[in-house]
Amino acid sequence: MRGVTWAAAAVTVLAATATACGGGGASDTSAVLSSSWGDPQNPLEPANTNEVQGGKVLSMIFRGLKEYDPKTGEAKDMLAERIESDDSQNYTVTVKDGWTFSNGEKVTARSFVDAWNYGALLDNKQKNAYFFEYIDGYDKVHPSSGNPTAKTLSGLTVKDDRTFTVKLTQKFSTWPETLGYAAYAPLPRSFFDDHDAWLDKPVGNGPYTIDSYAKGSEMRLRKWEDYPGPDKARNGGVDLKVYTDNNTAYTDLQSGNLDLADDIPAAQLKNAPKDLGERYINQPAGILQTLAFPYYDKNWGAGKEKLRIGLSRAIDREQITRQIFQKTRTPATDWTSPVLGKDGGYKSGLCGDACDYDPAAAKKLIKEGGGLPGGKVTLTSNVDTGSHREWMDAVCNSINNALGNERACTVDPVGTFADYRNRITGHRMTGPFRAGWQMDYPLIQNFLQPLYYTNASSNDGKWSNKDFDRLVNEANAETDTGRAVSTFQDGEKILAEQMPAIPLWYQNGSAGYSERLSDVTLNPFSVPVYEQIKVS
Amino acid sequence: MGRYVLRRLLQMVPVFIGTTFLIFFMVYALGDPVAALFGDRAPDPATAARIRRELYLDRPLWTQYLHYMGQIFQGNFGTAFNGQPVLDLMAEAWPVTLRLTLVAIVIELIFGITLGVIGGLRRGRATDTGVLFLTLVVISVPTFVTGYLLQYLFGVEWGLIRPSVSPAAPLNELLLPGAVLALVSLAYVTRLTRTSIAENVRADYVRTAVAKGLPRHRVITRHLLRNSLIPVITFIGTDIGALMGGAIVTERIFNIHGVGYQLYQGILRNNSPTVVGFVTVLVIVFLLANLLVDLLYAVLDPRIRYA
Amino acid sequence: MPDDLQPLQQGPLQRGPGNTIAPTGAGGAMDLAVSEAETLERPPGTGTIPGGPPGGPGAKPRSLWSDAWRELRRNPVFIASGLLIVFLVLIAIWPGLIASGDPLSCNLAKSQEGSQPGHPFGYDTQGCDVYTRTVYGARASVTVGVCATLGAALLGSLLGGLAGFFGRWGDALLSRTADIFFGIPVVLGGLVFLSVITSTTVWPVVGFIVLLGWPQISRIARGSVITAKQNDYVQAARALGASNTRLLLRHVAPNAVAPVIVVATIALGTYISLEATLSYLGVGLRPPTVSWGIDISNAAPQIRNAPHMLLWPAGALSLTVLAFIMLGDAVRDALDPKLR
């Protein structure tokens, strides 16, 4: 069976190449491009996909109520005609007419409600179930222990074919803007009726359809000619090829075997501008790297503010981003990301002195803060992905140089991400540890609440502050966006005084592409905007 | 002979059980895989508990093991976390890796033995020293450097090959990866052959053969080489593991979705069905390879007999 | 010469000047069968061990190993490799002898800069002095290489030798155990055994490499012993009632040791590199330990940007392996009477 599939696949490639070559010169709307990909960790269900590689596919085959503008990150209506609320808690959603799934089925209010109920229900073990936790009745379908007592969320009601209402458990003024996240995508009936078949070849309502999917090696997506949305694909399709090493993808790109590599390996960052010239993109993405402190450890916890700020001031972010990352990172001066924009809540310099490199002040602060516990500090991170080892060494050297002691800071590399996560969730950290954050949706709330609110899902250091929690609650209840943002920023100022996590740098997305392509951009999630790419 | 082979095949049973348990235990010792599935977020306890229950992770180790073995005897090797049956993964990965290993072994045999014979016959002369220095380079430059360098030169600078191997992995695309994979072992094979040849070239049967007036190439291939091959064959038998399961680096560089890659993924994600399944097959391959090596002893040296 | 062979050898051996030495291969029944013409070929004197007359039945026979030692001391290859190894050991113990800097003192501003006055090897990515790090790296790397090789070689050849010599159930048990060990992927083993250890010394890494390395050497030793024990002189000695210990130590081991030496000397280099792989996985030597392996694995991805970072630690590794390969060659030659 497999042999036959491959043979057929090979014929398709040949045919595709033939058309691509035949087009010549000008942009060819039927030409297919190839792009690097990683094997998704989880089955491709929308509410079960929590990493970039699976998200890449979902962004091509699904469109939700809202869609984030690839340039500005602003949440714009896509399938939503209207999302209305009088009190920031009860919402009425109207779905646009004329949308269908690629199998012809109409996208209705029920397509959303069924999908969200599926995502929230504990029995389905969806990893993004918590996205639905603000919807009324979540505690019934997803109790923290025991079995669910309801199958559907009581807060969701289908009014008619195109309308449904949502009742939230609390006021949440920016809730509609979270709806661009893939977990909120609508699902066709075939998802529920024949789940296994759907997983083998997912069907959605986005600008592309899946032509074939060989798990672990390749997925071929083709333009959906009858796509009803405004953002129709400008190319014939995308072949996602699984690479186990981004260096190989880069080499393939250089040799003309691959059209688009969206993850330039750290060691090649120095060469990329030289190798690729104009075809190298490097633009801000909604990713912030921080070093979090184990607040549960008395050596680093309450009362150790000076020590924490001292360490922050001992790190020469400017030099590290230049020498190690070739300026593909920008020194961080707040706890959000530049992709939010000024109106969205990004405020350069909010951190103030606490994020400025000043070895003398650092030494003084650390001394006043009681000195490093035992005269030593150990930075911990997993080293199986990313180039964490290099920057951790550099951060340590920076701290050592500031303190004038070559043996003050050491790095504790952890072999696997799994082991690392287990140590974090088991509260076994004894020093600062890496805490990267890639935003789910471009809202300041997403950079603050999940990370620093008391007992929030990604508050790995277990930092807790009543004033901060209060400000977050106030900001969420605020109906005026401007006032909500400034309240969040007030909360952020507490972070600058308390330093529960040291902001290191804002990460850029980087990509390179072949001469055949034009109009290649990355969205704020550092995923290529595939439908806009032109192939010649 | 027949009984010997049968006995060796029967020994597979305890080895099979021993390996599966050992590897199962080791993956278990790596820790709980569920937290990592949730990325940078703390797992929601209720969902995590459901996943653990489904994967049998909430049971004691021995129950998990028995459950797993029970599945295996029904022909079910479990599923990887992305939902793919391990059996499917194996069906994809093994043929690719077998081809890659074959290419590597052939390269080792051809180049290693040739260089070794030359070195052994010209002991201490310039050629021998040259081969020694090549060996040193191969040993001290890591595979990822030689791999990337050769890939870059052949694939980008000279444009002779595709830098990555396509999913179907045909033999011709595996030549360069096979060569890279073979490099370190090549050093062993060369040195082993050289030493054996140098040792045996003064042996009496060689002198006898020369005295009988046999042509030089016949003496070398029929007498000298045959008697010098036992250590080389033994080495290759032991090396199969390094070539198949340890090809992680080479498979990564050339984007080959083979056994090394699947094992590495399985280990990083603490996925015991994947790891145990692959390692078990790996050990069975060893058993067969080493049985073959032992039988070859008797072919190469007729004085060795098996009962 | 082994006493137990003497009665058999008395007849033919007295004739050729070279025969009396034959402590190992040449003394066997096979040689006896091969005719005198061959013995006569040998130039006179080659076989006679300097400074000693052929051991008569009453004289204390010189042991094979002391003969080898005598041979070694006159071998220039041995002397050269010995000096090199002494040098490496000295540096490993007192790196300060030839490097004045601190390997942990780094200035990121100098990242990947090339050779400069006072810093002949240039700087690495973190701006540390490559020369100082290469010198200081010797300690960990030489310790790991030498100790792991010694451990794996001793354990492997002992177990493999016994298995090959006695065969039967012992052999089956050992060989199958080795098969299981072969199956453990290095990554898995490393993550399981080494990640739980927080020691910053080299010993857990050494122990781990021995654990994974012995099966290979044991199989090589087993194969060699199986071949060597078939030799006629071994059979003859056995027929004459030599004990197993004597057979193994005097007759089999010297003839089986060559492949083990070859594999062990190369393994020394690969073990030092393996340490690099383990460090790369985050389970090898822990910072602040400095080693060639760590530096090589850091330098490898930067090969296009700063090849000098790789050149020096890799060069030091080559030199070490070269020294031990030369040493192995010399030892092997000394043990092989046919080459004398």
According to the model, what pLDDT value does residue C152 have? 95
Give the domain ranges of chain A.
284-508
Instruction: Show residues of chain B in contact with C179, CB under 8 Å.
Output: 15, 283, 286-287, 290
Which residues, including other chains, have CB under 8 Å from residue B232's CB and lie 6 or more apart? B112, B113, B116, B189, B192, B193, B196
3-state secondary structure of B303: coil
CB A159 within 8 A of CB A63: no
Confidence of residue C33 (pLDDT cuts 50, 70, 90): very low
According to the model, what pLDDT value does residue B306 have? 65
* Domain covering A284-508, topology: Dipeptide-binding Protein; domain 3 (3.10.105)
Mean pLDDT of chain A: 90
Q: At CB < 8 Å, which residues of chain C contact A?
A: 102, 104-109, 111, 125-127, 190-191, 195, 280-283, 286-288, 298, 301-302, 304-305
Q: How many helices (H) and strands (E) does chain A have?
A: 17, 19
Which residues, including other chains, have CB under 8 Å from residue A226's CB and lie 6 or more apart? A100, A102
| CA-based nearest distance A376→chain C, Å | 12
Q: B37 versus C6: which is more confidently predicted?
A: B37
Instruction: Show residues of chain C in contact with B135, CB under 8 Å.
Output: 266, 325
* Residues facing B94 on adjacent strands: none
Q: C58 versus C266: which is more confidently predicted?
A: C266
Cβ–Cβ contacts within 10 Å for residue A199, how many?
16
According to the model, what pLDDT value does residue C10 have? 32
Give this complex's ipTM: 0.86
According to the model, what pLDDT value does residue C338 have? 63
pLDDT score of A163 more than 90: yes
**Reduced DSSP (H G I as helix, E B as strand, rest coil) percent helix, strand, coil of chain A, to 5:** 40, 20, 40
According to the model, what pLDDT value does residue A9 have? 40
According to the model, what pLDDT value does residue B149 have? 87
Tokens encoding A60: 């091509």
Quote the radius of gyration of chain B (alpha carbons, Å). 23
Mark yes or no for CB contact A416/C111 under 8 Å: no
Mark yes or no for CB contact B142/C276 under 8 Å: yes
Give the domain ranges of chain B.
2-73, 93-300
**What type of residue sits at position A125?**
K
Which domains, and CATH codes, for chain C? 67-97+138-339 (1.10.3720.10)
Class of domain B93-300: mainly alpha
Q: How far apart are CA B243 and CA B247, in angstroms?
A: 5
Quote the radius of gyration of chain A (alpha carbons, Å). 24
Q: How far apart are CA C214 and CA C155, in angstroms?
A: 6
Own/partner contacts of A270-274, CB < 8 Å, gap of 24 or more, are A270/A326, A270/C304, A270/C305, A271/C304, A271/C305, A272/A510, A272/A512
Q: What is the pLDDT of residues B146-163, one digit of tens each?
A: 888 899 899 888 988 888
According to the model, what pLDDT value does residue C84 have? 93
Best interface-test mutation with C: which of B25, B136, B278 has the largest number of C CBs within 10 A? B136
Tokens encoding B216: 């030089």
| CA-based nearest distance C194→chain A, Å | 10
pLDDT score of B40 more than 80: no
Cβ–Cβ contacts within 10 Å for residue C3, how many?
14
Contact with chain C for residue B272, Cβ under 8 A: no
Average pLDDT of A464-488? 92
Residue A486's alpha-carbon distances to A187, A345, A350, A351, in angstroms, are: 37, 7, 12, 15
Cβ–Cβ contacts within 10 Å for residue A440, how many?
21
DSSP codes joined into one string, C206-233? HHHHHHHHHHHHHHHHHHHHHHHTTSHH
Q: How far apart are CA A349 and CA A371, in angstroms?
A: 27
CB B234 within 8 A of CB C223: yes
State the helix-helix crossing angle for C168-183 and B12-30, rounded to 10 degrees. 30
Best interface-test mutation with C: which of B101, B132, B139 has the largest number of C CBs within 10 A? B139
Instruction: Show residues of chain B in contact with C38, CB under 8 Å.
Output: 204, 207-208
According to the model, what pLDDT value does residue A13 have? 41
| CA-based nearest distance B139→chain A, Å | 23
The pTM of the whole model exceeds 0.90? no
Q: What is the pLDDT of residues B228-278, one digit of tens each?
A: 888 898 899 888 877 887 688 888 889 998 898 888 888 888 888 888 889
Average pLDDT of B70-83? 83
Paired sense of beta strands A501-513 and A75-77, if any: unpaired
According to the model, what pLDDT value does residue C339 have? 57
Q: C26 versus C73: which is more confidently predicted?
A: C73
Mean pLDDT of chain C: 77
According to the model, what pLDDT value does residue A490 have? 95
Residue A319's alpha-carbon distances to A330, B275, C107, C114, in angstroms, are: 10, 42, 10, 19
Which residue on chain A is closest to B144 by alpha carbon? A247
A283 sits in which H/E element:
strand A280-292
pLDDT score of C183 more than 80: no
CB A376 within 8 A of CB A518: no
pLDDT score of A6 more than 60: no
Mark yes or no for CB contact C314/B304 under 8 Å: no
pLDDT score of A145 more than 90: no
Q: How far apart are CA C40 and CA A263, in angstroms?
A: 73
Which residue on chain A is closest to C188 by alpha carbon? A415
Which residues, including other chains, have CB under 8 Å from residue C220's CB and lie 6 or more apart? B231, B234, B235, B238, C156, C160, C259, C260, C263
Which residues in A141-277 belong to E strands, given as ranges?
A: 156-160, 163-167, 208-214, 218-223, 237-242, 260-261
Which residues, including other chains, have CB under 8 Å from residue C173's CB and lie 6 or more apart? none
Mark yes or no for CB contact C282/A414 under 8 Å: yes
Contact with chain C for residue A225, Cβ under 8 A: no
